[in-house]
A and B are shown apart, each in its own frame.
Chain A
Amino acid sequence: MKSVIYIIVGSFLGVILYKSEAASWFRIYEMFQFDSFHMYGIIGSALAVGIVLVQWIKRSKVKSFFGEPIHIQDKERSFTRYIIGGTLFGLGWALAGACPGPMYILAGAGYWPIFIVLVGAVLGTFVYGILRDKLPH
């Protein structure tokens, strides 16, 4: 049953990102050109609602749907890894026009060349795993 819910949540996310064009390479380019409010509107309104929901979940100490306590992990404190990793990610995001979520969505939409991007992404993840101990974090 839980499995079905995860699949439904994923499908819902896929439809939202496809239909709002957040999965479109063109929208990502347009965002980095500051030519439209569209992407900023999506991220901004997601954040506005997200902050309220997360603060509510934290303060009300609401239990999960399955009765377990909810623990939202804080991100590990650092500067180096976030700024370097973030910048590398941004370079790829703008060139591929897709972050990981939209990659899967575009695969489902039938844009076959996205599989090359996905292979690159898995390769990049693998190389990070290998070099991890040698990189500044």
Chain B
Amino acid sequence: MLYQPWPWYVAGPLIALVMAVLILMGKRFGMSSNLETFCSIGGAGKFTDYFKVDLKSRRWNLLVVFGSVIGGFLGAHLLSPNPAVNISDATVKKLQDLGFESAGTSYLPTELFSVEALTKPSVWIILLVAGFLVGFGTRYAGGCTSGHAISGLSNLQRPSLIAVIGFFIGGLIMVHIIFPLIFGA
């Protein structure tokens, strides 16, 4: 059971539990503010006051990040004998049409996330641009999936609903309009 993929009705409530534990520790559930902390550690405070923060106050969240790295290691290396993700047949078909032959056989598409894929400059650009959009967008919107979709909506915040609608507008544009342009050719 532990070694099979966990169903949504187990994962969802456990995520809510993680959020509640962090709130009960006097903190909050937000993963993207750590990106700001990385900038501050790197000396970005020299360029703008936005990154001048008391690093001590951010320490707890870096520990959560460190933990999630460990969790990823445990999940992948101890708890997952079979890394294949059982996505729907319709999705496999759509991805194969886009050139993703690894669909349904691996955890991440090897076309983007394997060491061999990094021999292609286009893959570097795709990964870098994707990361850039996530970083820029999440700080502009003041939160990511954890901060808005889970924490903000759990607290019935209208701004978070607007942000989540934005997440979906962006995601749908990317998958339905931009993917065929970059992968389909």
Residues of A within 8 A of B (CB): 2-3, 5-33, 35-51, 53-54, 57-58, 62, 64-66, 68, 70, 72-79, 81-101, 103-114, 116-130, 132, 135
Contacts and interface: CB of A to CB of B under 8 A. Distances in A.
20 contacts: A3-B63, A10-B68, A13-B64, A16-B6, A29-B91, A41-B9, A42-B11, A75-B142, A75-B159, A86-B141, A89-B141, A93-B145, A95-B130, A101-B68, A107-B72, A109-B76, A113-B117, A119-B128, A124-B35, A124-B134
Interface of B: 5-26, 28, 31-32, 34-36, 38-39, 42, 44, 47-48, 50-51, 60-61, 63-77, 79-80, 85, 87-88, 90-91, 94-95, 103-104, 107-109, 112-115, 117-118, 123-124, 126-146, 148-160, 162-176, 178-179
| Chain A to chain B: the 6 pairs with minimum beta-carbon distance, closest first | A14-B71, A86-B166, A10-B67, A90-B170, A120-B131, A124-B135
Nearest to B41: A122
Contact of B153 (A10, A32, A47): A47
Interface of B is mostly: helix
Given A10-B70, A93-B170, A81 B142 contact: yes
